[in-house]
Amino acid sequence: MVEDKKAVAEALALLGQSRIASNLNQLAYHANIGLLIEDDYTKSQIAEANEYLQSIRTLLIQALGKN
């Protein structure tokens, strides 16, 4: 049972506004073919995706009443 429907809605909104899936897929593809460029832009994009994932994880844990 969902404890906090607002937290679930916020998590889903974060997923909707992010391009995490697309970005991770592109990173994995380029890493697999040996073309991942580790410049400041790429590192900042990875950091941004990580921040979104952390926020989503926190909201989902709260929504499940596990905090």
DSSP state, 33?
Answer: T
Placement of tokens 């900042």 in the chain: 44
Q: Dump pLDDT digits (tens) for 4-61.
A: 788 888 877 877 777 777 878 888 898 899 988 888 988 888 888 888 888 888 888 8
Give the pLDDT score at 18.
Answer: 74
| Contact (Cβ atoms closer than 8 angstroms) between residue 56 and residue 14 | yes
Placement of tokens 């994009």 in the chain: 45
- CB-count burial class (<10 Å; 0-12, 13-18, 19+) for 54: exposed
DSSP 50-64: HHHHHHHHHHHHHHT
Which pTM does this prediction carry?
0.59
